[in-house]
Amino acid sequence: MLKKKLLALFVSAMMVLSLAGCTTPQNAQAKTQTQAVQVNQKTQVAQAKPVQTQSKPVTKPAAKPAATPATTGKLVISFIDVGQGDSILVQAPSGKTMLVDAGVPEMGSRVVSYIRSRNVKKIDVLVATHPHNDHIGGMPDVINSLGIGSVYMPKASTNTYSFEKLLTTIKHKGLTVKTAKAGVVLDLGSGITAKMLAPNSTYYDDLNNYSAVIKITYGKTSFLLTGDAEVQSEQEMLKAGYDLKADVLKIGHHGSAYSTSLAFLNAVKPKYAVISVGKNNDYGHPAQVTMNRLKYYKIPVYRTDENGTIVATSDSKTITFNVKPGDYTPGNKSGSTNTSSSKPSTSTVQSLPYGYYGEPGKVYVDSSGRGLIKGNINSKGEKIYHIPGDPWYDRTKAERWFKTEAEAQAAGFRPPKK
């Protein structure tokens, strides 16, 4: 009996031990698996974080573009020093470009070099103001060296080699010529306007008056480029009622006595004047009368013969220059006469007590030979004379008429005060 009880107790103990042995490894394994899963999850999360960080794009600072008019929002106009001639490079804020004239043939390479130095590879608008050698001579070099968009020329022709070569070059490049005339709008991009104000007629005796005159407006600033336009063309622009007012006036015909009349100057009212002229040129440019007018109105003058290439920069509100203004000294004639004009020299004229208000030595008469200078006696009893084109001429009653300023001053009349 005792033996059976002991056997039963042994069996019970073995069962307890067996159950304990079976349960403990499973729980341990389950616990180990749970911990492994948790560790694995943590490891995956830890590994996932670097992947997410690497997947974000790396933002690098954008490279700063070159300082060109297209990115700086500035209009840059370069009056290139080509000696006795004209060449003007216009770089618009949009990035578009215009070249007005290119000097004599010998200056073609200089013009191209300057254009390239301004990081310009294409001329969007090319304007030949009129077919004189000192304006179109260098254009074949420009056309052959750079990309060209539109070409504008007035309907004027001549039989010179320079003109024929230009036409041939245009043809070989597959370009077409558009007519330069008043009313033509030039595309220089948004934010800027460029419009031709001359020529206004289809025929002129003098090729200079065929000159394309262009007004450029950017914001509150403006430029008037006049080519070689003379008094006849100036009068046509005045008669047409164009808004001629401009901050910068490119003086017509290199400062010739036959451009920049008083009426025209008063309509433009420039703050600055630019003269493209060669040092010690054969024509005596700029003329004494022109410099006297600019000095009289205290207009700062920038001259290529004194300053070299002149660069005017507009931010749409103000205009700055790369050089200081020149002086009002007239040109010195170096021997020969102006072959482009048969007009008389003004180098030797009669000196007058009050000096000359208009063109020295000029005779003011109509087709019948009647004098056109008005002698007026005002309410104060002052004797004052007025020449055609001055601001008061059309508003003044003539008590006497004179043909020359010398006659008027000899009769006791004086020119108007400023």
Q: Is 312 in a helix, a strand, or coil?
A: strand
pLDDT score for 279: 92
Closest CA to 98 of 71, 69, 73, 72: 69
pLDDT score for 294: 95
pLDDT score for 283: 86
User: Per-residue pLDDT tens for 380-416?
Assistant: 888 999 998 787 887 788 888 998 888 898 888 999 8
pLDDT score for 9: 55
pLDDT score for 333: 62
Given the structure tokens 């007009």, which residue do they identify?
343
pLDDT score for 343: 41
Q: What are the angstrom distances between the C-alpha of 38 and each of 24, 25, 41? A: 21, 20, 5
pLDDT score for 60: 39
The DSSP code sequence of 87-109 is -EEEE-TTS-EEEE---SGGGHH
| Low-confidence residues of the chain: pLDDT under 50 | 16-68, 70-71, 335-348
pLDDT score for 152: 98
Q: Are 395 and 386 in contact, with CB atoms under 8 Å apart?
A: no
Q: Is 231 in a helix, a strand, or coil?
A: helix
pLDDT score for 359: 79
Can you list the pairs that 266-272 forms with residues at least 24 positions away whose Cβ atoms lie under 8 Å?
A: 266/390, 266/391, 267/238, 268/224, 268/244, 269/245, 270/224, 270/246, 270/299, 271/247, 271/299, 271/300, 271/319, 272/247, 272/248, 272/299, 272/300, 272/301, 272/302, 272/312, 272/319, 272/321, 272/325
Residue ranges of domains in the chain, CATH in brackets: 69-321 (3.60.15.10), 348-418 (no CATH)
Q: Are 163 and 134 in contact, with CB atoms under 8 Å apart?
A: no
pLDDT score for 22: 42
pTM, to two decimals: 0.67
pLDDT score for 129: 98
The CB density around residue 406, as the number of other CB atoms within 10 Å, is 18
What does the alpha-carbon distance between residue 81 and residue 131 come to, in Å, rounded to a whole number? Answer: 19
The token duo for 415 is 């020119």
The token duo for 317 is 């509100």
